[in-house]
Structure 1
């Protein structure tokens, strides 16, 4: 988790009006979530980084080529556990921002057609987010790398699965427009 320093705070005074808000960035792989999260510069927002890349890198270093596909349940349980830990971490800021949420795990397992680990679905019912910002697939910025192995067409399917999952658990998905980082950040802050 990172706590960001004050930036342009007077414009966003409305952040003080809320009790703690749990806000999640979710969406297709390579749609700009992490780039935008890294641009957040606000004293009233605590940011929780995406944990998937670290887990994937560690498993690839041990010889696993595609950890999620080779052992989806073990991989998903590790992600879910860390995201649940982040969900309950106490911060002093009124806004907690997560790069992917616990419900992402369910969406990915559903898209794969894998069985759901015991208790995961009930945890998702009990622990929701106040705001869900969904980043749609964006081919112009889409890049694969050694951790992000999905192809663009898979990204589109995962996007649909994420929208369906968050909606099924009673959360409204706010679609983030495909515009510059600055305009996306303004959109997010105006919609908190």
Structure 2
């Protein structure tokens, strides 16, 4: 869609949401992870579209939410940072036995060519009420996302396991802001 849409993805509990918050505090528009929003809504409601109950339903909702997120910021000025997004949702949908990532994207490239990826970071990983999978499952998801990004022709920039300020500065420097 636009080169100003910057995707942050990677391993669960690798610091993406913390990075997004740091970018928001610096004045950038941000879009929170669809999955966390869905889990919050579903646990408050009927709880059907949860990844540990029905991964395909969850992934379909995540795809629709991510598409809606992209549409909602089409007129934004400057960079917009996404915590996960359509590619992550499409990977989950394909993994659940649904349509392929390429079918979901339908030839579109929703984010800037360079994607920032947080690596597995075991010391940060923690289960909670909304994150019930274990570290090895998170690493498998990370591997699927990286393979997909590579297959789609994105440039993967893996962020270092470093303090939030250093990671944030790396992102902004590589986006030409610093």
Place the TM-score, normalised by the shorter chain, in its bin: 0.7 to 0.9
Q: Aligned with 2:51: secondary structure?
A: helix
Contact 1:20 1:93 in 2 (8 A): no
Match 1:128 to one of 97, 107, 110: 110
Is 1:108 aligned to 2:92, yes or no? Answer: yes
* Count of residue pairs brought into register by the alignment: 171
Q: CA deviation at 1:116?
A: 1.7
> What is the aligned-residue RMSD (CA, Å)?
2.2
SS across alignment from 2:6: strand
Does the C-alpha gap of structure 1 residues 46 and 124 become closer, same or farther in structure 2, counting only changes over 3 Å? farther
SS at match of 1:98: strand
1:137 corresponds to? 120
TM-score normalised by length of structure 1: 0.80
Q: Deviations over 1:153-192 (max 9, x none)?
A: 1111111011011111121111011000111111111111
**Shift in CA distance, 104/60, structure 1 to aligned 2, threshold 3 Å:** same
3-state SS of 2:29 partner: strand
CA distance in 2, matches of 1:78, 1:66: 8
In the alignment, structure 1 residue 60 sits paired with structure 2 residue 43: yes
Q: 1:140 to 1:124 in 2, by over 3 A?
A: farther
Alignment partners' CA distance in 1, 2:51 and 2:92: 9
Structure of higher CA gyration radius: 1
Q: 2:81 is matched with which residue: 75, 80, 97?
A: 97
- How has the CA–CA distance of structure 1 residues 65 and 82 changed in structure 2, closer, same or farther, with 3 Å as cutoff? closer
Q: Cα gap change, 1:122/1:142 in structure 2, threshold over 3 Å: closer, same or farther?
A: closer
Select the residue among 84, 91, 95 that pairs with 2:67.
Answer: 84
Structure 1 unmatched ranges of 5 or more: 1-18
After TM superposition, give the deviation of residue 21 of structure 1 in Å: 1.0
Aligned residue for 1:82, secondary structure, equals: helix
- Distance in 2 (CA, whole Å) between partners of 1:138 and 1:38 is 19
Q: State the match for 1:12 in structure 2.
A: none
Moved more, 85-94 or 146-155: 85-94
Structure 1 Cα separation of the partners of residues 21 and 126 of structure 2:
18
CA distance in 2, matches of 1:153, 1:124: 30
